[in-house]
C-alpha cells in the first residue's frame, strides 16, 4: 500500500470524485450526510490501489462516518477478521438502508460469527439490527456449503418469516423477502419449502421511497433460478 493511502487521504480524494447527481440518487435511496456521491466503480479503483483487502484501513474508513468511505470499507474488509464486537460497532454506525442491508450484511455473512450474530440481531428491538440480521442470513446461505448450515433452524426461520412478514416494518419486509429467496435459490434441500412460503405469502408490498426499485416475487424469482439451472450453486462472495 502506498504510504500516502490513508483513511484521511482517501476521504480527501472522495471529495474530488463525487457527483452531485449520483449523490442525489443515493440520498433518494436513504443515504445520509456526509456523502459525496462517488460511484461504486470509482470506489473499486481505490480498493484495487489499496491492495484489494486491507482490513486495518477498512476499519478506519468505516469510522470516518462518510457514506462513500463506509461502503468502500466493506469492500476492503477481511470478513474473517470481523469479530462480534466489530460487527456490532458497524451495525451501530450504519446510517442508511444501503449500509445496513449490504455493507454490514456482507462482512457479517463472511465472518465466522456471522450466523450467531445475525440470529441475535433478528431478535432485537432495534429495527436497524433486525434488517441487518435478515440480510446477513441471506448472505450466509449464499456462501456456506449446505453441510455447514443448520437446516432445521433455516426451516424454522422460513416459518417465522411466513408468519410475520406481512405485519413487519417496511424495510424488514423487504429483507425477509430476500431471505426466503436466498434460501430457495442457494439451499436446494429447502427450495420446495421456500417456494411454498413464497406462494402462500404472495407479493410483498414495500414502500421503496419513490425509487424505481421493486421487491421481487419470491416464487417467481426462485422459479427463474430453477430455469437457469443455478439452484444450489453457491456464491464465492456477496460483495458487489
Q: Supply the pLDDT for residue 209.
A: 83
The answer to whether the beta carbons of residues 218 and 201 sit under 8 Å apart is yes
**1-10, 53-62, 199-208, 231-240: segment of lowest average pLDDT:** 1-10
Residue 14 has pLDDT above 70, yes or no: yes
Q: Over range 3-23, report the average pLDDT.
A: 94
Indicate the pTM of the whole model.
Answer: 0.95
Residues contacting residue 37 through CB under 8 Å, at least 6 positions apart: 18, 19, 20, 21, 22, 23, 24, 25, 26, 68
Q: Supply the pLDDT for residue 4.
A: 72
Domains of the chain: 1-77 (no CATH), 87-240 (1.25.10)
| Nearest-angstrom CA–CA distance, 238 and 224 | 19
Q: Supply the pLDDT for residue 2.
A: 47
Q: Supply the pLDDT for residue 105.
A: 98
Q: Per-residue confidence at 1, pLDDT binned at 50, 70, 90?
A: very low
Amino acid at each position: 500500500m502506498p504510504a500516502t493511502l490513508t483513511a484521511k487521504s482517501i476521504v480527501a480524494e472522495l471529495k474530488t470524485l463525487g457527483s452531485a447527481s449520483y449523490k442525489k440518487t443515493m440520498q433518494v435511496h436513504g443515504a445520509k450526510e456526509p456523502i459525496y456521491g462517488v460511484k461504486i466503480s470509482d470506489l473499486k479503483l481505490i480498493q484495487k490501489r489499496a491492495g484489494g483487502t486491507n482490513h486495518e484501513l477498512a476499519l478506519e474508513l468505516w469510522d470516518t462516518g462518510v457514506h462513500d468511505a463506509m461502503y468502500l470499507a466493506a469492500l476492503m474488509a477481511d470478513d474473517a477478521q470481523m469479530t462480534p464486537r466489530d460487527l456490532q460497532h458497524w451495525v451501530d454506525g450504519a446510517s442508511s438502508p444501503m449500509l445496513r442491508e449490504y455493507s454490514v450484511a456482507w462482512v457479517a455473512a463472511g465472518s465466522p460469527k456471522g450466523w450467531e450474530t445475525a440470529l441475535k440481531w433478528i431478535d432485537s428491538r432495534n429495527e436497524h439490527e433486525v434488517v441487518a440480521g435478515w440480510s446477513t442470513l441471506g448472505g450466509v446461505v449464499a456462501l456456506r456449503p449446505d453441510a455447514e448450515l443448520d437446516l432445521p433452524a433455516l426451516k424454522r426461520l422460513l416459518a417465522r418469516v411466513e408468519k410475520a412478514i406481512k405485519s413487519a416494518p417496511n424495510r424488514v419486509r423487504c429483507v425477509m423477502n430476500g431471505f426466503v429467496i436466498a434460501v430457495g435459490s442457494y439451499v436446494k434441500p429447502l427450495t420446495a419449502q421456500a417456494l411454498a412460503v413464497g406462494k402462500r405469502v404472495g407479493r410483498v408490498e414495500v414502500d421503496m421511497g419513490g425509487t424505481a426499485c421493486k421487491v421481487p416475487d419470491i416464487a417467481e424469482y426462485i422459479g427463474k433460478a430453477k430455469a437457469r439451472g443455478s439452484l444450489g450453486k453457491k456464491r464465492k462472495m456477496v460483495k458487489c
